[in-house]
Amino acid sequence: MAESTPISQLGDARTGKLADNLTGFGRALRRAGVPVDAARMALAQQAVLLVGMDRRDFSAALEAVLISREQDRAVFRELFDAYFRNPDVAQKLLAQMLPSAESKAAPAPRRPRVSEALAPVRAARNAPPPREEDTVEFDAAMTASTLQRLRQADFNQLSASEYRLVAQLAREVPLPLPRYAARRTRPGLRGSRPHWPGTMRQATRHGGEVLQLPRLQRREQPLPLLVLVDVSGSMERYARLLLAFLHAATAPRRAGKGGAVRRDVFAFGTGLTDLTPAFRLADTDAMLEAASRAITDFAGGTRMGDCLAALRTRHARRLVGRRTLVLLISDGLDTGAPEVLARELAWLRRHCGRLLWLNPLLRFGGYAPTARGAAELHRQAHGMLAVHNLSHLQDLAGSLAALLRQ
């Protein structure tokens, strides 16, 4: 159907079908993981009444008031085309324009979020209303086979409901970072220097007798962490889930006796965005909302060399000597100049303890870093790890420890 075709076949305000269609479309967006509330739906009805029934204006008005995150725009447009389509009119037009054929062309593959959002709509249109005696209640608990499948499933192949479930499970995965001996000391049983204030306090309790000689031992602190997350279009779903995982896994409440993890987080695409203020928020969902507002180049291209140059010139003090552990999360599909990327990666390698590349493309068995950016990143990084499913996230702590011991 042409883009300028009006939407009048779906009903208008006089027959009462337009409001029902808008409400159903809002529910489909929520099933696809797009945050839509009653206030946005009210704005959508007002916007449609203002712009009229032209298809392009109709779509643009709904997108303007219903979508607030860049990562939801592609889902909205695909769901709009699938939801507001009249199959009877389309078949009549095709019958007049095309000769009959024995086979029909296969429809274009849809995103899992869109397919899941449309499934209840199709079922409601085709199935008769259920009788009360036919209603069956199911237990919502996951079986062991379902959980095992989700642990091995690629993040980019999950439906909206499965993605939300895996995102919640990822927040419970621990990430104990390796520790190092800091300069500050604390009283303990072992140490190179006596703890004289503690010795005097114990002596006063025993009539001046020194029964034990406390020692000062160095505190152990987790390694400082610098996270660089690729937010280009190919990394859309990985970036959001891995940000939630790292925020929950390195939270101060999980730090233990060694102290909180010093973490600096940046998102890069066509530019560099500092997400460290967002990571100071205690709630993971609030962090994700703040990160979505801060990132202006989400689902765009990748110029990794230029972003690392911005890190070097504006945020070089975030690297604490040669102890900082750098986690660079990217698929390595860079569109910038390879010589700039090589120079900046060499600088980053010299000014950190370890540079580890977390690559979702390792889900492919025969993967090889043949692209120019991926080849340079593979040459400069100390190690490469897979982070494309929940199972590899659970094994990440052990893999980090093994690489740091080498």
H helices, E strands: number in the chain: 17, 9
- Name the residue ranges covered by the structural domains of the chain: 8-97, 182-220, 223-405
Helix/strand/coil for 386: coil
What is the rounded CA–CA span in Å between residue 36 and residue 153? 27
- Crossing angle of helices 112-126 and 160-170, in 10° steps, is 130
Share of the chain above pLDDT 70, in %: 77
Min mean pLDDT across 112-116, 144-148, 397-401 is at 112-116
Nearest to 382 by CA among 322, 339, 319, 314: 322
Query: What are the C-alpha distances in Å from 201 to residues 167, 186, 210?
Result: 51, 16, 10
Mean pLDDT for the stretch of residues 182-202: 79
Beta bridge partners of 273: 267
pLDDT at 373 over 80: yes
pLDDT of residue 328: 95
Bridge partners (DSSP) listed for residue 263: 225
90 pLDDT band, cuts 50/70/90, is: very low
Backbone angles phi, psi at 195, to 5 degrees: -100, 90
Question: Nearest to residue 45, comparing CAs of 76, 83, 12, 77?
Answer: 12
Judge whether residue 12 has pLDDT over 80.
no
| DSSP symbols for 96-162 | HHS---SSPPPPPP--HHHHHHHHHHHHHHHSPPPPGGG------PPPHHHHHHHHHS-GGG--HHH
Residue pair 175/401 in contact (Cβ under 8 Å)? The answer is no
The arithmetic mean of pLDDT across residues 218-236, rounded, is: 86
- 223-405 under CATH 3.40.47.10, yes or no: no
> What is the edge-to-edge ordering of all strands in the sheet holding 354-358?
272-274, 263-268, 225-230, 325-329, 354-358, 383-385
Q: Six-digit token pair at 89? A: 């009119």
CB-facing half-sphere around the CA of 195: CA atoms within 13 A: 19
Residue 258: pLDDT band with limits 50, 70, 90: low
Lowest mean pLDDT among 73-82, 113-122, 195-204, 227-236: 113-122
Give the SS3 label for residue 25.
Answer: helix
Average pLDDT on 59-88 reads 80
- Residue 33 corresponds to which tokens in the numbers above? 């993981």
How is 184-195 classified by DSSP, letter by letter?
A: EEEEES--SEE-
Locate 338 and state its tokens: 């390879």
Residues 156, 242: Cα–Cα separation, whole Å: 12
- pLDDT of residue 250 exceeding 80, the answer is yes
For residue 242, name the pLDDT band (cuts at 50, 70, 90).
Answer: very high
Backbone angles phi, psi at 150, to 5 degrees: -65, -30
**271 and 296 Cβ atoms separated by less than 8 Å:** yes
Q: Distance between CA 377 and CA 340 in Å, rounded?
A: 12
- Radius of gyration of the chain from Cα atoms? 28
Mean pLDDT of 156-178: 83
